Amino acid sequence: MDKLEFKRFFRACNPAKTLNISDPQDEKYYIDFSGVRGAEILEELGQNIVLSHPDPTCQLFTGHIGCGKSTELLRLKSDLEQQGFHVVYFESSQDMDMGDVDISDILLAIARQVQESLGAVGINLKGSYFNNLLQEAADFLQTPIQLGLEAEVSFGIGKLTAKTKESPQLRSRLRQYLEPKTESLINALNKELLIPAGEAIARKGGEGLVAIVDNLDRVDNRPTSSGKTLPEYLFADRGEQLARLRCHLVYTIPLVLIFSNELAAIKNRFGGNRPAVLPMVPVRDKDGNICEEGMELLREMVLARAFPNLVHDDRLASIAALFDSPDTLDYLCRMSGGHVRNLLRWLHDCLRKRNPLPIAAKTLETVIGRERDDLLGTITDDEWELLRKVRSTHKVTGEQESQTLLRSLFVFEYRNGGRWFDVNPLLEEAPELQ
């Protein structure tokens, strides 16, 4: 492998990089794990949109942070675009502070992103209500934002939210102003933007509008003044408002809501649909036997990033260029527990060494050992008790357990052979579990 190829491989293993399937190079790196994850989750989300159209749909999507949700959502975007839909995908964390989110923040972010995306394809919609609302909000906040009648709504929202994102005081005052106007805001969003957008897309020969709101799963789980957590407030108490927008919607939500007492209410707020969960890629089954199908796909994920232009058999024949032994690659895959981002992060760390290739077993063990030490240092006696229970029962129950075990990546969820949970492989040899 020459220097140029190594640099490309190093960049392809960047754990912070989200694959965009519409990019020809990223498409070569993409591996479809749906066959081993237990369900074709994204296919089902897409099928619901296609079959329901023109009736709007609103669907929820969740999973462990780092398990590949954003990559799968971008694949959904690509699939729907091939079927004629105009898809607006955006990361909500770019517009909002994930520790302090309210309904008005989400609505304004959708309005800005949708209009900006439509403008890029020549669909320019002017919203008099939005322009008036933004100018009034700026006046209320005594914030110098000048908007003419012909100003782009997305431009005004962008300027306003950029100021409030960095200032909790301004953000609080803006919400005080917008909260009594929430119903009017939703109606205007539908009448001035979303419905006309769908009609304009249809006139251009397209199918309809889809908005994918990513990264809402990162909303902080802090309690609110109502006594509920922030995710429960947003998706249970206010979920009906989020679902009333007149386009196809996909929201990511925190995994902890799957274990919340509010789950039934959330389903009802979003039309009876249960949230779709993206589990880990299985490296073994519930009985502890190696899951060869999952392991094979994880190996392929690594090899595809190194040799994107080779076929499967040639990639396997090239393992010696990357690892001192096929067993070292298997150790990497197995210890990841099927957590895609962790696997790439450890691989990336190995590639940063002085003489990185082939990766030696000792180098990989050192990288993973440091990760294990970091994780072990965070676990309390009470949490070890919970981990012993999970190892015995393969179950996680209740919001408190899920928040403790899943968000901290102490435990992973799998769906091969039914729904079950297992301890992170990094912890499986710990004396406290024996």
Assess whether pLDDT exceeds 90 at residue 331.
yes
Q: Per-residue pLDDT tens for 127-143?
A: 778 778 777 877 777 76
Per DSSP, helices labelled H in 236-337 are 239-242, 263-269, 292-306, 312-317, 326-336
| Residue predicted with more confidence, 349 or 96 | 349
Percent of the chain with pLDDT over 70: 94
139-143 own/partner pairs: CB under 8 Å, 24+ apart: 140/173, 140/174, 140/177, 141/170, 141/173, 141/174, 141/177, 143/170
Do 104 and 178 meet the contact criterion of CB atoms below 8 Å apart?
Answer: yes
Residue matched to tokens 């029962």? 393
Do 279 and 413 meet the contact criterion of CB atoms below 8 Å apart?
Answer: yes
Amino acid at 282: P
Q: Under 8 Å CB-to-CB from 264, ≥6 apart: which residues? A: none
The 8-class DSSP code of residue 317 comes to H
Helix orientation angle between 326-336 and 340-351, rounded to the nearest 10 degrees: 140
0.85 exceeded by pTM: yes
Do 414 and 422 meet the contact criterion of CB atoms below 8 Å apart?
Answer: yes
Half-sphere exposure of 156 (CA within 13 A, CB side): 25
251-280 average pLDDT score: 95
381-401 average pLDDT score: 95
- 247 by DSSP, 3-state: which? coil
317-335 average pLDDT score: 97
Domains located in the chain, CATH noted: 1-25+282-429 (no CATH), 39-278 (3.40.50)
Do 112 and 154 meet the contact criterion of CB atoms below 8 Å apart?
Answer: yes
For 151, counting Cβ atoms within 10 Å of its Cβ (0-12 exposed, 13-18 middle, 19+ buried), the class is middle
pLDDT, residue 150, reads 42
Distance CA 388, CA 234 (A): 33
**Which of the four pLDDT bands, split at 50, 70 and 90, describes residue 4?**
low
The dihedral region occupied by 148, where left means phi > 0, alpha psi between -120 and 50, and beta the remainder, is beta
Q: Per-residue pLDDT tens for 141-168?
A: 776 555 544 445 555 676 666 667 677 7
For 190, counting Cβ atoms within 10 Å of its Cβ (0-12 exposed, 13-18 middle, 19+ buried), the class is middle
Assess whether pLDDT exceeds 70 at residue 303.
yes
Cis status of the peptide bond prior to 54, with omega within 30 of 0: yes
Q: Roughly how many angstroms between the first and final C-alpha of the chain, as a whole number? A: 43
pLDDT, residue 138, reads 75
pLDDT, averaged across the chain: 91
Q: Under 8 Å CB-to-CB from 3, ≥6 apart: which residues? A: none
